[in-house]
Amino acid sequence: MEYVLKTNALKKVYGHYKALNGLSMNVPKGSIYGFVGKNGAGKTTLIRLVCGLQEPTDGEFFIYSIGSKEKEIVKSRRRIGAVVETPSIYLDMTAPDNLKEQYRILGLPSYDGIPDLLELVGLKDTGKKKARNFSLGMRQRLGIAIALAGNPDFLILDEPVNGLDPQGIVETRELILKLNRKYGITVLISSHILDELSKLATHFGFIDSGHMVKEISAADLENACRKCTRITVSDTGILSRVLDELNMEYTVLSENDADIFGKISVTELTLKLSGQNCEVTSMQERDESLENYYINLVGGERNE
Protein backbone atom coordinates (compact mmCIF):
# COMPACT_ATOMS: atom_id res chain seq x y z
CA MET A 1 0.00 0.00 0.00
CA GLU A 2 1.24 3.49 -0.89
CA TYR A 3 1.22 6.09 1.87
CA VAL A 4 1.00 9.86 1.50
CA LEU A 5 2.15 10.43 5.08
CA LYS A 6 4.07 8.21 7.48
CA THR A 7 5.48 9.17 10.87
CA ASN A 8 8.06 7.22 12.79
CA ALA A 9 8.31 7.64 16.60
CA LEU A 10 7.63 11.36 16.22
CA LYS A 11 8.13 13.50 19.31
CA LYS A 12 7.47 17.14 20.11
CA VAL A 13 8.30 18.46 23.56
CA TYR A 14 7.50 21.90 24.97
CA GLY A 15 9.49 22.25 28.18
CA HIS A 16 8.32 19.30 30.28
CA TYR A 17 5.16 18.75 28.22
CA LYS A 18 5.19 15.98 25.62
CA ALA A 19 2.73 17.04 22.93
CA LEU A 20 3.76 14.09 20.76
CA ASN A 21 5.25 11.05 22.42
CA GLY A 22 6.57 8.59 19.83
CA LEU A 23 3.71 8.96 17.35
CA SER A 24 3.70 6.51 14.43
CA MET A 25 0.93 6.77 11.85
CA ASN A 26 0.23 5.81 8.24
CA VAL A 27 -2.09 7.73 5.90
CA PRO A 28 -2.89 5.66 2.77
CA LYS A 29 -2.97 7.38 -0.61
CA GLY A 30 -6.55 8.10 -1.71
CA SER A 31 -7.99 7.79 1.78
CA ILE A 32 -10.00 10.09 4.02
CA TYR A 33 -8.08 9.59 7.25
CA GLY A 34 -9.93 10.50 10.43
CA PHE A 35 -7.39 11.63 13.02
CA VAL A 36 -9.28 11.17 16.28
CA GLY A 37 -8.38 12.45 19.73
CA LYS A 38 -9.45 14.59 22.63
CA ASN A 39 -8.58 18.27 22.69
CA GLY A 40 -4.89 18.43 23.63
CA ALA A 41 -4.12 14.89 22.43
CA GLY A 42 -1.57 16.18 19.91
CA LYS A 43 -3.58 16.39 16.67
CA THR A 44 -2.80 20.02 15.81
CA THR A 45 0.84 19.60 16.86
CA LEU A 46 1.25 16.79 14.31
CA ILE A 47 -0.33 18.93 11.60
CA ARG A 48 1.94 21.87 12.37
CA LEU A 49 5.01 19.64 12.11
CA VAL A 50 3.92 18.13 8.79
CA CYS A 51 3.18 21.58 7.34
CA GLY A 52 6.59 22.88 8.40
CA LEU A 53 5.29 25.37 10.95
CA GLN A 54 7.36 23.69 13.68
CA GLU A 55 10.20 21.18 13.88
CA PRO A 56 10.06 17.77 15.63
CA THR A 57 12.02 17.25 18.83
CA ASP A 58 12.80 13.71 17.72
CA GLY A 59 11.68 11.10 15.21
CA GLU A 60 10.89 11.59 11.55
CA PHE A 61 7.98 11.80 9.13
CA PHE A 62 7.71 11.09 5.42
CA ILE A 63 5.57 12.90 2.84
CA TYR A 64 5.33 10.87 -0.37
CA SER A 65 8.33 8.83 0.87
CA ILE A 66 10.52 11.94 1.32
CA GLY A 67 11.88 12.21 4.86
CA SER A 68 11.48 15.34 6.96
CA LYS A 69 15.28 15.53 7.38
CA GLU A 70 15.87 15.65 3.62
CA LYS A 71 16.10 18.88 1.61
CA GLU A 72 13.53 17.53 -0.87
CA ILE A 73 10.85 17.67 1.85
CA VAL A 74 10.17 21.24 0.68
CA LYS A 75 9.03 19.90 -2.71
CA SER A 76 6.81 17.29 -1.05
CA ARG A 77 5.16 19.99 1.06
CA ARG A 78 4.17 21.81 -2.14
CA ARG A 79 1.76 18.94 -2.74
CA ILE A 80 -0.06 19.75 0.53
CA GLY A 81 -2.96 22.12 1.07
CA ALA A 82 -3.94 22.80 4.67
CA VAL A 83 -6.39 24.63 6.89
CA VAL A 84 -4.77 24.69 10.33
CA GLU A 85 -6.94 25.68 13.31
CA THR A 86 -8.82 28.51 11.52
CA PRO A 87 -9.11 29.44 7.81
CA SER A 88 -6.40 31.90 6.73
CA ILE A 89 -8.54 34.47 4.95
CA TYR A 90 -8.59 38.26 4.61
CA LEU A 91 -11.90 39.38 6.06
CA ASP A 92 -11.90 42.70 4.18
CA MET A 93 -11.51 40.96 0.81
CA THR A 94 -14.00 39.18 -1.41
CA ALA A 95 -13.65 35.47 -2.13
CA PRO A 96 -12.05 36.08 -5.57
CA ASP A 97 -9.61 38.62 -4.12
CA ASN A 98 -8.63 36.20 -1.34
CA LEU A 99 -7.79 33.61 -3.97
CA LYS A 100 -5.90 36.13 -6.10
CA GLU A 101 -3.76 36.96 -3.08
CA GLN A 102 -3.01 33.28 -2.54
CA TYR A 103 -2.17 32.86 -6.24
CA ARG A 104 0.31 35.73 -5.93
CA ILE A 105 1.89 34.18 -2.82
CA LEU A 106 2.30 30.86 -4.65
CA GLY A 107 3.66 32.59 -7.75
CA LEU A 108 0.98 31.16 -10.03
CA PRO A 109 1.08 32.78 -13.47
CA SER A 110 -2.64 33.14 -14.11
CA TYR A 111 -5.93 33.72 -12.31
CA ASP A 112 -7.80 31.61 -14.83
CA GLY A 113 -8.49 28.79 -12.34
CA ILE A 114 -10.20 30.98 -9.74
CA PRO A 115 -13.79 30.82 -11.13
CA ASP A 116 -13.65 27.02 -11.27
CA LEU A 117 -12.23 26.86 -7.75
CA LEU A 118 -15.00 29.12 -6.41
CA GLU A 119 -17.61 26.98 -8.15
CA LEU A 120 -16.07 23.83 -6.67
CA VAL A 121 -16.47 25.12 -3.10
CA GLY A 122 -19.89 26.67 -3.72
CA LEU A 123 -18.84 30.34 -3.57
CA LYS A 124 -19.11 31.42 -7.22
CA ASP A 125 -22.10 33.72 -6.57
CA THR A 126 -20.71 35.71 -3.62
CA GLY A 127 -19.81 38.64 -5.89
CA LYS A 128 -18.40 41.65 -4.03
CA LYS A 129 -19.48 40.35 -0.62
CA LYS A 130 -16.55 40.56 1.79
CA ALA A 131 -15.46 37.51 3.76
CA ARG A 132 -16.30 39.18 7.07
CA ASN A 133 -19.97 38.93 6.06
CA PHE A 134 -19.72 35.22 5.24
CA SER A 135 -21.20 32.55 7.46
CA LEU A 136 -18.74 30.32 9.31
CA GLY A 137 -19.44 27.56 6.80
CA MET A 138 -18.69 29.87 3.87
CA ARG A 139 -15.44 30.98 5.53
CA GLN A 140 -14.46 27.36 6.04
CA ARG A 141 -15.10 26.58 2.37
CA LEU A 142 -13.14 29.68 1.33
CA GLY A 143 -10.29 28.46 3.51
CA ILE A 144 -10.42 25.11 1.73
CA ALA A 145 -10.45 26.89 -1.65
CA ILE A 146 -7.30 28.79 -0.64
CA ALA A 147 -5.71 25.50 0.44
CA LEU A 148 -6.56 24.07 -2.99
CA ALA A 149 -5.04 27.00 -4.91
CA GLY A 150 -1.77 25.20 -5.57
CA ASN A 151 -3.57 22.11 -6.91
CA PRO A 152 -2.46 19.82 -4.04
CA ASP A 153 -3.18 16.10 -3.93
CA PHE A 154 -3.01 15.95 -0.12
CA LEU A 155 -5.39 18.10 1.92
CA ILE A 156 -5.06 18.54 5.70
CA LEU A 157 -8.05 19.91 7.61
CA ASP A 158 -7.88 20.72 11.33
CA GLU A 159 -11.35 20.49 12.95
CA PRO A 160 -13.13 21.55 9.71
CA VAL A 161 -16.71 21.41 11.09
CA ASN A 162 -16.03 22.79 14.55
CA GLY A 163 -18.58 25.52 15.35
CA LEU A 164 -20.54 25.13 12.13
CA ASP A 165 -24.33 24.97 12.02
CA PRO A 166 -25.98 21.81 10.59
CA GLN A 167 -26.15 23.24 7.05
CA GLY A 168 -22.49 24.27 7.17
CA ILE A 169 -21.51 20.79 8.37
CA VAL A 170 -23.39 19.12 5.51
CA GLU A 171 -21.89 21.49 2.90
CA THR A 172 -18.35 20.93 4.22
CA ARG A 173 -18.86 17.16 4.34
CA GLU A 174 -20.14 17.03 0.77
CA LEU A 175 -17.19 19.12 -0.42
CA ILE A 176 -14.66 16.83 1.28
CA LEU A 177 -16.28 13.73 -0.22
CA LYS A 178 -16.28 15.35 -3.66
CA LEU A 179 -12.60 16.29 -3.43
CA ASN A 180 -11.72 12.75 -2.45
CA ARG A 181 -13.97 10.74 -4.76
CA LYS A 182 -13.98 12.91 -7.88
CA TYR A 183 -10.52 14.44 -7.75
CA GLY A 184 -8.64 11.70 -5.89
CA ILE A 185 -7.32 14.02 -3.17
CA THR A 186 -6.12 12.29 -0.01
CA VAL A 187 -7.62 14.03 3.03
CA LEU A 188 -6.40 14.04 6.63
CA ILE A 189 -9.13 15.30 8.97
CA SER A 190 -8.35 16.08 12.59
CA SER A 191 -11.49 16.07 14.70
CA HIS A 192 -13.10 15.17 18.00
CA ILE A 193 -16.61 15.23 16.49
CA LEU A 194 -16.77 11.50 15.98
CA ASP A 195 -20.29 11.18 14.61
CA GLU A 196 -19.39 13.41 11.67
CA LEU A 197 -16.10 11.60 11.03
CA SER A 198 -17.93 8.30 10.84
CA LYS A 199 -19.78 9.63 7.77
CA LEU A 200 -16.55 10.53 5.98
CA ALA A 201 -13.50 8.53 6.90
CA THR A 202 -12.17 5.45 5.14
CA HIS A 203 -9.43 5.02 7.77
CA PHE A 204 -9.04 6.07 11.39
CA GLY A 205 -6.13 6.82 13.69
CA PHE A 206 -6.90 7.13 17.40
CA ILE A 207 -4.42 9.30 19.30
CA ASP A 208 -4.19 9.77 23.06
CA SER A 209 -1.58 11.71 25.06
CA GLY A 210 0.60 12.16 22.01
CA HIS A 211 0.84 8.54 20.87
CA MET A 212 -1.12 6.38 18.47
CA VAL A 213 -3.45 3.96 20.24
CA LYS A 214 -4.81 2.26 17.14
CA GLU A 215 -5.08 2.59 13.36
CA ILE A 216 -7.93 0.83 11.62
CA SER A 217 -9.85 0.94 8.32
CA ALA A 218 -13.50 1.95 8.34
CA ALA A 219 -14.44 -1.54 7.18
CA ASP A 220 -12.54 -3.23 10.01
CA LEU A 221 -13.89 -0.68 12.47
CA GLU A 222 -17.44 -1.52 11.45
CA ASN A 223 -16.73 -5.19 12.11
CA ALA A 224 -15.05 -4.37 15.43
CA CYS A 225 -17.90 -2.22 16.73
CA ARG A 226 -19.99 -4.60 18.78
CA LYS A 227 -23.72 -4.90 18.43
CA CYS A 228 -25.74 -4.15 21.53
CA THR A 229 -29.31 -3.93 22.72
CA ARG A 230 -30.47 -0.51 23.93
CA ILE A 231 -32.99 -1.07 26.71
CA THR A 232 -35.22 1.48 28.43
CA VAL A 233 -36.50 0.54 31.87
CA SER A 234 -38.12 2.22 34.86
CA ASP A 235 -35.02 1.70 37.03
CA THR A 236 -31.52 0.95 35.76
CA GLY A 237 -30.42 0.24 39.33
CA ILE A 238 -32.61 -2.86 39.35
CA LEU A 239 -31.55 -3.65 35.77
CA SER A 240 -27.88 -3.57 36.84
CA ARG A 241 -28.47 -6.09 39.63
CA VAL A 242 -30.30 -8.45 37.31
CA LEU A 243 -27.65 -8.20 34.58
CA ASP A 244 -24.92 -8.84 37.15
CA GLU A 245 -26.75 -12.01 38.20
CA LEU A 246 -26.86 -13.07 34.54
CA ASN A 247 -23.15 -12.22 34.04
CA MET A 248 -24.06 -9.85 31.21
CA GLU A 249 -21.82 -6.98 30.01
CA TYR A 250 -23.60 -3.64 29.96
CA THR A 251 -23.21 0.13 30.12
CA VAL A 252 -25.66 2.31 32.04
CA LEU A 253 -26.41 5.48 30.07
CA SER A 254 -28.97 7.18 32.33
CA GLU A 255 -31.58 6.44 34.99
CA ASN A 256 -33.67 4.69 32.38
CA ASP A 257 -31.35 3.64 29.53
CA ALA A 258 -28.59 1.07 29.19
CA ASP A 259 -26.73 -0.85 26.47
CA ILE A 260 -26.45 -4.62 26.87
CA PHE A 261 -23.71 -6.44 24.93
CA GLY A 262 -23.94 -10.02 23.76
CA LYS A 263 -26.95 -12.24 23.17
CA ILE A 264 -29.75 -11.98 25.68
CA SER A 265 -32.82 -14.05 26.43
CA VAL A 266 -35.55 -11.43 26.20
CA THR A 267 -38.06 -13.66 28.01
CA GLU A 268 -35.74 -14.45 30.91
CA LEU A 269 -34.63 -10.84 31.32
CA THR A 270 -38.12 -9.34 31.24
CA LEU A 271 -39.45 -11.95 33.70
CA LYS A 272 -36.65 -11.27 36.17
CA LEU A 273 -37.15 -7.51 35.87
CA SER A 274 -40.92 -7.86 36.24
CA GLY A 275 -40.37 -9.93 39.39
CA GLN A 276 -38.55 -6.93 40.89
CA ASN A 277 -41.17 -4.40 39.74
CA CYS A 278 -38.96 -2.99 36.97
CA GLU A 279 -40.88 -2.19 33.79
CA VAL A 280 -39.31 -2.58 30.34
CA THR A 281 -40.43 0.26 28.05
CA SER A 282 -38.45 -0.58 24.92
CA MET A 283 -35.62 -2.71 23.50
CA GLN A 284 -33.76 -2.01 20.26
CA GLU A 285 -30.74 -3.58 18.57
CA ARG A 286 -27.95 -1.10 17.88
CA ASP A 287 -24.36 -1.01 16.68
CA GLU A 288 -21.73 0.37 19.02
CA SER A 289 -21.03 3.99 18.10
CA LEU A 290 -17.64 5.32 17.05
CA GLU A 291 -17.68 7.44 20.20
CA ASN A 292 -18.17 4.42 22.46
CA TYR A 293 -15.48 2.51 20.56
CA TYR A 294 -13.03 5.37 21.11
CA ILE A 295 -13.90 5.71 24.80
CA ASN A 296 -13.48 1.98 25.36
CA LEU A 297 -10.17 2.14 23.46
CA VAL A 298 -8.53 4.99 25.37
CA GLY A 299 -10.61 5.08 28.55
CA GLY A 300 -11.95 8.21 30.21
CA GLU A 301 -15.03 10.31 29.80
CA ARG A 302 -16.74 11.46 26.63
CA ASN A 303 -15.22 14.58 25.18
CA GLU A 304 -18.01 16.99 24.34
pLDDT average per 10 residues of sequence, the chain (304 residues): 95 95 96 92 94 95 96 94 90 96 93 94 94 94 95 95 89 95 96 86 95 93 82 96 93 92 89 95 84 78 43
pTM score: 0.80
Phi, psi at 20, each rounded to 5°: -125, 130
Going by C-alpha positions, the residue among 233, 225, 169 that lies closest to residue 196 is 169
Going by C-alpha positions, the residue among 136, 145, 144 that lies closest to residue 169 is 136
Q: How far apart are CA 254 and CA 64, in angstroms?
A: 48
- 46, 49, 55, 56: CA torsion to nearest 10: 30
Check residue 201 and give its pLDDT.
96
Q: How far apart are CA 251 and CA 169, in angstroms?
A: 30
